[in-house]
Amino acid sequence: MDIFDIIGPVMIGPSSSHTAGAVRLGNLARSILGEEPKKAKITLFNSFAKTGRGHGTDKAVIAGLLGFMPDDERIKTAFEEAHERGLQYQLFAEESGEGLHPNTVSFELEGATKKTQVTGCSIGGGRVKVTAIDGFEVELSGDYPTIITVHKDRPGIVALVTALLAERGINIAQMRVSRKKKGQEALMMIESDEKLPGEIKEVLGNIKDIYRVITFSE
């Protein structure tokens, strides 16, 4: 346990789970999209849906999509900020999302050139977990520099990526690979202990059968 576990995050309240965590989830969804979101369909589930307005969860997820941090005073005016930035959004509430964490949100995002679907949950104290990206199961905390690749499910891809990271002195903290069907698309998520070098996205993107590369820092 560290001091963060005891006193919680620096944040705009009232709730570390329903406000700060929601901002972080919006931020991660924005990072996964990889560009400024233009349209967003957001669904709050279970506890998020029931108490979301009272705890500011609805404003918090929008604030995260705009790139605000959990301690940003503009969270309170996120709807107005979204209008000024041209973000078109729809907010929905589902109070009976069976099998989901109580504090779950899903995003369907569109930017100028990209689209993505992201699902995640706020697990307490401002900590979060992304559980799905574009239909792939993941476990992403957002606490580490991260690489995500979408690639063809074939022998050698994982070895090539990890070898390139080793050459640059990047240690893997966590790694997960998931696929929808053998031999088709797969998603690899790597969280590293070290800051990612600026060229790594381009280097990985040049590997045959890697279709998309997403990188972001904690």
**At 190, is the secondary structure helix, strand, or coil?**
strand
CA angle 80, 125, 69 (to 5 degrees): 30
Report which of residues 15 and 109 the model is more confident about: 109
Please give the pLDDT value at position 128.
94
Selected from 3.50.4.10, 3.30.70.260, 3.20.20.70, 2.60.120.680, the CATH number assigned to the domain covering 146-216 reads 3.30.70.260
Output the pTM of the full model: 0.86
Please give the pLDDT value at position 131.
95
CA angle 215, 217, 218 (to 5 degrees): 135
The domain ranges of the chain are: 3-134, 146-216
> Is pLDDT above 90 for 7?
no
How far is CA 35 from each of CA 98, 103, 185, rounded to the nearest angstrom?
A: 32, 25, 22
Q: How far apart, in whole angstroms, are the C-alpha atoms of residue 189 and residue 176? A: 5
pLDDT in tens, 119-165: 999 998 888 999 999 999 999 999 999 999 999 999 999 999 999 99
**At 210, is the secondary structure helix, strand, or coil?**
strand
Could you tell me which CATH number the domain at 3-134 has? 3.30.1330.90
pLDDT in tens, 38-68: 999 999 999 888 877 766 899 999 999 999 9
Distance of CA 118 to the CA centre of its chain: 7
- Report phi then psi at 6, rounded to 5: -85, -50
- The DSSP result for 9-78, as a single string, is -S-SSS-IIIIIHHHHHHHHHHHHHTS--SEEEEEEEHHHHHHTTTTTHHHHHHHHHTT--TT-GGGGGH
